Structure 1
Amino acid sequence: MLSLIRPALVLTFIFTALTGLAYPFAMTGLAQALMPYQANGSLTVQNGKVVGSDLIGQAFTTERYFHGRPSATSTADPNDAAKTVDAPYNAASSSGSNLGATSKALAEAIRDRAAVYGQGPAPADLVTASASGLDPQISPASALIQVPRVAAARGIAAERIAQLVQDHVEKRNLGFLGEPRVNVLALNLALDTLRP
């Protein structure tokens, strides 16, 4: 019996050391050496202070800023742990709304969000939440539809704001993967540098 237990314990120890310690330390060290920006969360720093991440959206709500894609994330209600409350872009609770296509609540939310952008059709990414609830980017069309509001709130010519949007459009990865997009945090930080 001991002849069976001893090799099992030795192998458990060896594989625990290899896969539980050596491999994670090696990968962490390699990531830190080769791509420290990505390995540390793609943090955006301004004036020596972390203001966000390129990978997680933020809840910009004032008229002076571009708004990101709606977020359906939530957190525990501080008054009743059995309930949840909305907590947009809560990275600790990445999730969608789980509302189906026939949901009246979803149709109402889409209608309310679309009404903000006028009579014409609003881009889909401005009226629907993503599956993760953390999207940091919007489509160029979603940014451009917000230009008149941002320009009026800041007293800056709409043409200048539209050009800023165009300057921040990220192209498809490798020229064919994904869609063109605009990082809302980067755009809003650049917007703060414009003067009327």
Structure 2
Amino acid sequence: MGKATDRTLAKNIANRIDEILQKTGMTVAGLAAFTKVGASSLRSYQRGSLPISVETVFKICTPLAIPLTDFFDFHQPLRIDVDKLTKLQTFRSQSLSASSGYFQEEKKHFVSKPTSTGRKRERDYIAYIIFHTDYFATPRTVAQMLTDFAHEHDLHLESGRLYELLKKYVGTALKRRPVLRVKNDESTSKRTIFLYSKA
């Protein structure tokens, strides 16, 4: 991908992303999920390290009812009436209920390890590990996670359940990359496995 060459424009775009996050209360992962723009790209726009297309700005602005002219008028603050954005309020309610880590208020409440029980504990712990540890800074397989989570967090999951819990974060907070499994004799298996890492 190309690098942002107009530093002033890149800084203004970065400030707009920060402003949207501040006014909506979303995290980068939340904004990515809500606007269908990749989380890694949003982080690059936020750092001013990647140029952004008008089409992508449109994808960000449309669900938040931000006119394009307002977004690019960098001398004026954005007006985002979050209370009137029905889809955003629904997204917020669902995200908080599911402990998705998509809103800043949830992350503030989630600094300590979860104390919930049952399936909610499973959901909460996965969100905690994704958003409040560096576990996924290194790519991990499901088999590694099953062992690590049981040992480090007393979180005992079946592989199918773990796939289900991880699925909603793929494309926003997590990346999933297919690789061929290496056998004990160092030969390559035809079976594909997946590596999960921070987006």
Would the TM-score normalized by the shorter structure come out above 0.5? no
Q: Which has the higher helix share?
A: 2
Question: What's the TM-score once normalised by structure 2's chain length?
Answer: 0.26
The higher radius of gyration belongs to: 1
